[in-house]
Structure 1
Amino acid sequence: MSQKILTMKLLKEKYGVCRLDKTDEIPNWAKKSDFFSITKTLDELSIVCSQNSIPKNIKCEKDWRMLKIEGTLDFSLIGILATISTVLAQKEISIFALSTYDTDYILIKDNNIDNAIEALINENYKIIN
């Protein structure tokens, strides 16, 4: 499916996706992780970080693993996430995607990570552990 071989790195930690109230301040525990992403909208404050950083009383979905697309992606590139999500959707694997200025991150539930990696390798993606 993909024309150019993309390399993805499987990050070691497990992550949680948290939902806080839109009026909440950004908590310090969220910033203790090596990787964290914070998004505030009109409806919510959403935080992705190491699940070990998340207090027990926080509404969250845990046990996500993360694949990072290696290298810097040019803004003119089209269909990177669409192609990856299609490959995984065909295997009935849901994702949670994050994009940064440089690259994209794909979160996949831990119980599906092996199947996701196999599906991506079969489509000529290179996966680094």
Structure 2
Amino acid sequence: MVEKKLTMKLLKEKYGVCRLEKTDPIPEWGRNSDFYSITKTSDELSIVCPQDSIPNDIKCEKDWRVLKVEGPLDFSLIGILASISDILAQKEISIFAISTYDTDYILVKDKEIDKAISALVNEAYEILKD
């Protein structure tokens, strides 16, 4: 019997990945949920949040689902994100990854989520539904 690798949880909502200008203020609509991610660089301001919160005039890519790696994960663990992305790459599933202090979040397009879950389960990952 194959030993379970990790447990992941599929979050309920659909999310959008937004691009704003680097000089734009962080909008309130991007901070109104249990899960959101805001990254500012010298080139842009990116926000990942529930797609229902995103105004129509914002440049974004919608219909992402989130798989949360159940953590917290120890910083000494090696290859978690690489392993997951490799499994999904072999099935030609594109991802958008977000890492936090405690864990990793893998975003997969909604149209590919069932295929992604199946691929991960076949590799001994446990998937919980939120």
Describe the superposition over 1:36-71 as per-residue Cα deviations: whole angstroms up to 9, x where unpaired: 100000100000000010000000000000000012
Find the residue that maps to 1:62 and give its secondary structure: strand
CA distance in structure 1 between the partners assigned to 2:22 and 2:3 by the alignment: 41
What is the aligned partner in structure 2 of residue 23 from structure 1?
A: 23
**Helix, strand or coil at the partner of 2:73:** coil
Identity %: 75
Moved more, 107-116 or 32-41: 32-41
Distance between the aligned counterparts of 2:19 and 2:100, measured in 1?
A: 20
Report the alpha carbon displacement of residue 3 of structure 1 after superposing the two structures with TM.
7.1
Q: Are 1:45 and 2:45 counterparts?
A: yes
Task: Tell me which stretches of 4 or more aligned residues in structure 1 moved more than 4 Å.
Answer: none
Number of residue pairs the alignment of both structures matches: 128
SS at match of 2:52: helix
Please list every run of 5 or more consecutive structure 1 residues that lacks an aligned counterpart in the other structure.
none
Q: Contact 2:4 / 2:126 at 8 angstroms: preserved in 1? A: no
Relative to structure 1, the CA distance from residue 24 to residue 114 in structure 2 (aligned partners, 3 Å threshold; closer, same or farther) is: same
RMSD over aligned CA atoms reads 1.2
Amino acid at match of 2:102: D
Opposite residue 45 of structure 2, the aligned amino acid is: L
- Cα deviation for residue 5 of structure 1 reads 1.4
Flag structure 2 segments of 5+ consecutive residues without an equivalent: none
1:73 aligns with 2:73: yes
Q: Map 1:6-21 onto structure 2 (within 5 A).
A: 6-21=6-21
1:4, CA displacement in angstroms? 5.6
Matches of 2:106 and 2:64 in 1, distance apart? Answer: 10
TM-score, normalised with respect to structure 1:
0.96
